[in-house]
Chain A
Amino acid sequence: KAGVTQTPRYLIKTRGQQVTLSCSPISGHRSVSWYQQTPGQGLQFLFEYFSETQRNKGNFPGRFSGRQFSNSRSEMNVSTLELGDSALYLCASSFGEMNTEAFFGQGTRLTVV
């Protein structure tokens, strides 16, 4: 079956602009989580959605937001981009139950200039 798909793969934006990233989970998965990964850094949790509801949120400013649609596809939005937002943004999907594997997408590499 198809894996987790993230679009676009690469993105270059200017400071102050906004950006929307998309994540299509594995069919049947209802949970989507978003992470920010900077070079040499770990996985910084942004938020998790389950059945269109935000279930958890990490310690990121309000410029970072997300949503999930009825088909479980998710989008995250970053407004008023800053240079420090340059990173690899990963999404991961799972069935949503407590102890199930999270499958990651290839990520979207965002560069802010």
Chain B
Amino acid sequence: GENVEQHPSTLSVQEGDSAVIKCTYSDSASNYFPWYKQELGKRPQLIIDIRSNVGEKKDQRIAVTLNKTAKHFSLHITETQPEDSAVYFCAARGNYQLIWGAGTKLIIKP
């Protein structure tokens, strides 16, 4: 069936460094790729999304890149800060249903 693989499951970076989380999807019909951030004890919230007709999108310190040929997309966070500590989920939407990655726990070391 359709699936989304997300790596790594845990990522620890020094404050101020960059973090990269990668996802690979199987459904070639997928055309919408959101990223959600879930802080401890809170609900997941959308931080950035990209559609299949775009290769890259940026929003301040956050960027997402999409490679449709290879069927993978990545989240890039630059100049990481303590408030970036959270679990990040990627997802890919094919026919109506969002297929979710397993999540990446991002730890920002002071």
Contacts and interface: CB of A to CB of B under 8 A. Distances in A.
A98 B31 contact: yes
A86 interface: no
A110 interface: no
Interface string A83-113: 0000000101000001101111111000000
Given A42-B102, A104-B43, A106-B43, A99 B97 contact: no
B46 A102 contact: yes
Nearest to A90: B43
Size class of the B contact interface (CB-based, 8 Å): 10 to 19
A16 to B, nearest CB: 29
Contacts of A33: 98
Given A99-B31, A102-B46, A42 B96 contact: no
A48 B32 contact: no
B57 to A, nearest CB: 13
A90 B44 contact: yes
A45 B100 contact: yes
Contact of A42 (B31, B45, B89): B89
A12 B82 CA distance: 34
A99 B93 CA distance: 8
B27 to A, nearest CB: 13
Most A CB contacts (10 A, CB to CB) among B46, B49, B97, B102 go to: B97
Contacts of B89: 42-43
Given A98-B31, A98-B93, 4 more contacts: A42-B102, A45-B99, A48-B96, A98-B32
- Give me the 7 closest cross-chain CB pairs, A-B, nearest first: A99-B32, A104-B43, A56-B97, A42-B102, A42-B103, A43-B100, A101-B46
